Amino acid sequence: MRLSETGDSLEKLNVVVPWEVVRKPLAKALKRSDGAMPRWWQRRERRPAGSGPRHLQRST
């Protein structure tokens, strides 16, 4: 049995979405600076695992 026979939702989406218009902005939005990690993750402050939420940490 083919997916087309079962009513594949991707085929329905393909009819509705204008891929020529969407392709470039979508590629730009999904672009990764190092091929894997999003940029916002790289800028994030790293804390040791298990250190808990910042608002509960004791300041020294």
pTM summary value: 0.34
Dist. CA 39–CA 36, nearest whole Å: 9
pLDDT of residue 12: 85
User: Following CA atoms 55, 48, 30, 4 in sequence, which dihedral angle do they give, to the nearest 10 degrees?
Assistant: -100
Q: pLDDT 10s per residue in the chain (60 long)? A: 566 677 788 888 888 988 888 888 888 877 755 566 665 555 556 666 666 666 666 665
